Chain A
Amino acid sequence: MPAETTVPPIVEMRSITISFPGVLALDNVDFLLHPGEVHSLMGENGAGKSTLIKALTGVYAIDRGSIRVAGRRNQFHSTADAQAAGISTVYQEINLCTNLSVGENVMLGHEPRRGVLIDWRAAHRQAAEHLEGLGLSIDTRSMLSSHSIAIQQLVAISRAMVLDAKVLILDEPTSSLDREEVEQLFRVVRGLRDNGVAILFVSHFLDQVYEISDRITVLRNGRLVGSYLVDDLPREELVTKMIGRELDDLAAISSTAAREIDRTGRPILKAVDVGKRGFLEPADVDVFEGEVVGIAGLLGSGRTELVRLLYGADRADSGNIEVGGEPAKMTSPRHAIDHHIAFSSENRRAEGIVSDLTIAENIVLGLQARQGFRKIKRAEQESVVSQYIEALGVRPADPTMIAGNLSGGNQQRVLLARWLATAPELLILDEPTRGIDVGAKADIQRKVAELSENGLSVIFISSELEEVLRLAQRVVVMRDRKHIGELESHTVSLDGLIDFIANEGKGSAA
């Protein structure tokens, strides 16, 4: 088995130092990767994980240090160089051509030829063999775009195998996969590991890291904290090493869930039979003042769809919505905003941040959009912006910084600021903590708890059920685009909730 260092490392990075203007991104970092191991690279955002990966794959040049691959000193100047040396990367955002077929993608650039022409039949046959090697039997002539992200990722991996990769880098591969898909991916990863491929794994999900890894290397602020066998590093210790401070903060939040909510009065929002054909089966939801309602369910269970209908981001074709007791039509986000509802999408980059605008412009955008063409006075803008940068701890605290350059956690803070600045009565947060580091996660949870205590109503969606149970007083459970039940969160344990998601209402759904 892996983990023993009798085998010489396939990748040996020594004293790697990379500096960017004003930042020392990597400071004297050593990193060893052995054949036949799954090695997780851990650290908060900005710890230097992606910089290290980019140094290895030739995207960034190193300022000092050395990189040896298979014993040979190497300095890659492009990802193509790295690929030629046997290092392949599979990103969260698939870097394949979705408008080509599966087979074409797998064999791209390595198609078998007959003279000058490509022998397509042989190409598809070879592609199918490679895919079957990963336990994947799909039609190689089908369009890549017709498959789920999970399948696309497996296709990307089999493409790496065509390139004869000795080192496979998986950068946040599981962010948008459901439980079963993760299992499938892990089966493939274990298979490759047993065949001697070295796998570098990066993920924010601690469970998955512990499930798949043999070894863990922790980075913090561009420096190496240490490299550990997974059995020698309990979780609490890992988290402590990553953030460098004890994390009692999360425990303090747990009191929120137990807080009593007065549900005798009129709900802030009451939705009855809200649905859309082929999108979401009619569902009921109500939210009271100061209440945090969690929505739990797997990816694709309809939780995002539900809140998009509530916000008017998509148009419902059935049901009624009342806001503060008055019937309300939610046919566009504008209507929802006029009713003091705010919605932060799960898709931060595509649907949240306006990347070329500054932090200040992004924060003011919601307020400005509501106000129309009349510009908010500069003094007022500045006071709003500095107030929220301060309150939410946006880093760097420079309002003129371009928002696209911020880390995920800080972008999320900016989005939260945008919506809080509009003084909503109901705040809908869809996966506000996805893909951000532990510290930022705790900050955002704490903020949500604090706001709800002051009377703000919140709908909170998260894949991390602990988080939902910690924050929400009530949890709506979704499955297969259907509302399958509601639980008082202090009456249910994590296992109970998982069981409910997995089993409850099976009979009626059929």
Chain B
Amino acid sequence: MRRIVKSRLFWPVAALILLILINTIARPQFVRITFQDGRLYGALIDILRNSAPLMLVSLGMTIVIATRGIDLSVGAVMAVSGAVALTIIDGSADPNSLGTVIVALVAAILVSLVLGMWNGLLVAVLGIQPIIATLVLMLAGRGVALLITGGFITTVNSSPFEFIASGYTLLLPFAFFISIAAIAAVGLAERRTALGVLTEAVGINPEASRLAGVRSRSIIWTAYAASGVLSGIAGVIYASNIRAADANAAGQFIELYAILAVVLGGTSLMGGKFSVAGTVVGVFIIQTLNSTILFLGVPSAQSPVFFAVVVVIVVVIQSPHLHRLTRSLIRSIRTNQTPEANGTTTNGESAGEESTSDVEVTV
């Protein structure tokens, strides 16, 4: 068991280290961390800070994908959440009071929970395909956000609110601690309770799980609700960072990056077995890649291509098919060196069921 988890995480971690190495070789100050006014600064610290929204969204996405679902509405939920928080702070008498900000945050998160529950209702109770069910909110959510802000980009000046994205605690960015808390919360909920194994069971075989007495409906519902809440918090961090609620830009395309992070982390889109640690690494790969683009000064017009090329390389490196191909190639080179009867073959794979993708090399 431990060995499987290890081998699963091996490639994502290797890709992350490789990215950091390339950056460091290109410009050694990439890994430099400076200490100033009781705070740490540096490119790596920025990655920890800036990855927070994607981290939260991807954690939620991981759970949803484990149930064989997908949540396309995460970006829209971020927009709604930011709009709710900023509208409350903007409308209050004292935007700088901690109380106001707390009320705004609680309201934003509650609204996100409701949106997540809505997705869960469509998928778990009404049996609508996840991609369609969440597409509804993906399209409608930004309209709701615009409705809340009255069609404007609401901006605020509220120091407690700004602290969420820009503040520091214990040397490190506060946003990073939100990430840590979310990772811990999801990790504990999945591994310390039975939620994890039940979620996997539902994702692998819904009917067998139902007959075994698993409450699959509430498990699926919980997954979407959690995704909603995590996206809501991500929306608040995003809004705090730009000090504004931008219904169109908030969380744009983040659903795609989140899915990418989950897949890079080794969780299959087919549902079932999932890895929270893998997703965390996946998020750091994406964030490091974004920093790399800035850091290496890739022209903005070319940055999507650069991003795409690197992602393709990382995905190909992880492909089990490629591993099998390399393994049997190595083996065939080895057998070539020892004389053997003609017509003998080596087979690259074991008794596994992947009958169609078996790779064979004739000597």
Q: Which A residues have a C-beta under 8 Å from some C-beta of B?
A: 20-21, 23, 25, 54, 59-64, 66, 73, 75, 77, 311, 313, 332-334, 337, 343, 345, 350-358, 361, 365-366, 368-376, 400, 404-405, 418
Contact = CB atoms under 8 A, between A and B. Distances in A.
Contact of B362 (A23, A25, A59, A75): A75
Interface in B185-222: 192-195, 197-198, 200-201, 204-205, 207-215
Contacts of A373: 193-195, 198
B232 interface: no
B209 A375 contact: no
Contacts of A64: 344
Enumerate the 10 nearest inter-chain pairs by beta-carbon distance, A residue then B residue, closest first.
A369-B213, A61-B347, A61-B345, A337-B213, A369-B214, A20-B351, A375-B194, A373-B193, A354-B205, A20-B350
Contact of B194 (A313, A366, A368): A368
A75 B345 CA distance: 9
Nearest to B270: A356
Contacts of A62: 345
Contact of B273 (A311, A353, A356): A356
24 contacts: A59-B355, A60-B347, A61-B345, A63-B344, A311-B211, A332-B210, A334-B213, A345-B211, A354-B200, A354-B204, A354-B208, A356-B272, A357-B204, A365-B197, A365-B209, A366-B212, A369-B209, A369-B215, A372-B194, A374-B193, A375-B192, A376-B194, A404-B353, A418-B212
Contact of A370 (B200, B209, B213, B355): B213
Contact of A25 (B212, B343, B351, B358): B351
Contacts of B204: 354-357
B46 interface: no
Contacts of B308: none
A205 B102 CA distance: 70
Contacts, number: 106
A23 B351 CA distance: 9
A368 B255 CA distance: 33
A353 B207 CA distance: 10
B346 interface: yes
A354 B346 contact: no
A54 to B, nearest CB: 8
Contacts of B201: 354, 357, 361, 365
Contact of B212 (A54, A61, A350, A369): A369
A410 to B, nearest CB: 14
B93 interface: no
Contacts of A361: 197, 201
Contacts of B214: 365, 369
Given A60-B358, A77-B362, 10 more contacts: A59-B358, A63-B345, A351-B205, A351-B207, A354-B204, A355-B204, A356-B272, A361-B197, A369-B213, A374-B194
Contacts of A77: 360, 362
A275 B192 CA distance: 42
Interface in B100-142: none
Contacts of B351: 20, 23, 25, 405
Contact of B208 (A20, A352, A374, A376): A352
A407 B211 CA distance: 21
A53 B327 CA distance: 25
Contact of B210 (A25, A333, A368, A374): A333
A171 to B, nearest CB: 13
A368 B208 CA distance: 14
Contacts of B197: 357, 361, 365, 368
Contacts of A371: 194
B343 A75 contact: yes
Nearest to B343: A75
B25 interface: no
Contacts of A374: 193-194
Contacts of B195: 373
Contacts of B312: none
Contacts of B358: 59-60
A404 B347 CA distance: 22
A313 B211 contact: yes
A374 B193 CA distance: 5
B211 A351 contact: yes
Nearest to A350: B207
B1 interface: yes
Interface string B290-320: 0000000000000000000000000000000
B208 A353 contact: yes
A350 B193 contact: no
B325 to A, nearest CB: 15
Interface in B141-194: 192-194
A375 B193 contact: yes
A21 B201 CA distance: 28
Contacts of B362: 75, 77
Given A23-B351, A75-B362, A353 B211 contact: no
Interface string B333-363: 0000000000111110011010100101010
A330 B49 CA distance: 52
Contacts of B347: 60-61, 63
Contacts of A20: 350-351
A64 B340 CA distance: 11
Interface in B211-261: 211-215
B320 to A, nearest CB: 15
A334 B272 CA distance: 22
Contacts of A365: 197, 201, 209, 212, 214
Contacts of A333: 210-213
Contacts of B193: 373-375
B37 to A, nearest CB: 45
A375 B196 CA distance: 10
A23 B198 CA distance: 33
B240 to A, nearest CB: 32
Nearest to A338: B213
Contacts of A369: 198, 209, 212-215
A73 B192 CA distance: 58
A374 B194 CA distance: 6
A432 to B, nearest CB: 14
A356 B213 contact: no
A422 to B, nearest CB: 8
A313 B209 CA distance: 11
A21 B350 contact: yes
A372 B200 CA distance: 14
A367 B51 CA distance: 39
A337 B273 CA distance: 26
B205 A368 contact: no
Contacts of B198: 368-369, 373
Contacts of A345: 208, 211
A365 B201 CA distance: 8
A311 B212 CA distance: 11
Contact of A61 (B200, B213, B346): B346
Nearest to B192: A375
